[in-house]
Copies of this chain bind each other. A is one copy, B any other.
Amino acid sequence: MDQRISLVTLAVDDLDAVRRFFEDGLGWIASRQSQDGVVFFQTGGSVLALYPRRSLETDIGRAIPSGPGGAVSLAWNGRSEAEVDAAYAQALAAGAEPVTAPEKVFWGGYCAYVAIPGGHLLEISFNPFWPLGADGALTLPD
């Protein structure tokens, strides 16, 4: 089982609202592979999917507790503290709720957390020890 994650799927109660957050709020472009009832965003070599909670419940044959749970956090890393500030402001303007404002954190980074519409956690972070590639990829130092 080669070391990769192909898709990250967020189960959402209001697909349109979350789609609008990413498209209209953040300016992301949904893939033409998106269909009624599922939205895909290319994110580097993997894919972020938005999928109705009820559809996922049907697929897995069990109920999913309502609410985002919070046991998974996605992170968007920027290239500087200023990029984090700008992205945090953009996320709030797009309808995310503040969780923690951008601040220097104990390990030397500069991070904020927001909850996107529906409640999933999104960390917005600058890690000076982990520079991003030109293509935005995060490759861990040796």
A72 in contact with B2 (CB, 8 Å): no
Q: Chain A: interface residue count, which band?
A: 35 or more
Whether A7 sits at the interface, judged by CB under 8 Å, is yes
Contact of A140 (CB < 8 Å), options: B42, B90, B113: B42
A45 closest partner in B (C-beta): B137
Which residues 92-123 in A have Cβ within 8 Å of B in the complex?
99-100, 105, 111, 113, 120-121, 123
Residue of B nearest to A56 (CB): B73
Which residue of B has the minimal Cβ distance to A2?
B136
Note all chain B residues with C-beta closer than 8 A to A64.
69-71
- Please tell me if the beta carbons of A45 and B3 are within 8 angstroms of each other in the complex: no
Known: A6-B75, A43-B5. A65 touches B59 (CB 8 A): no
- Asked if A74 is at the interface of the complex by the 8 Å CB criterion, the answer is yes
**Bound form: Cα–Cα A69–B71 in Å:** 7
B133→A45 contact, CB < 8 A: yes
- Are B47 and A46 in touch, CB under 8 angstroms? no
Please report A residues at the B interface, Cβ cutoff 8 Å.
Answer: 1-11, 26-29, 31-33, 40-48, 53, 56, 59-62, 64-65, 67-77, 86-87, 90-91, 99-100, 105, 111, 113, 120-121, 123, 125, 130, 132-133, 135-142
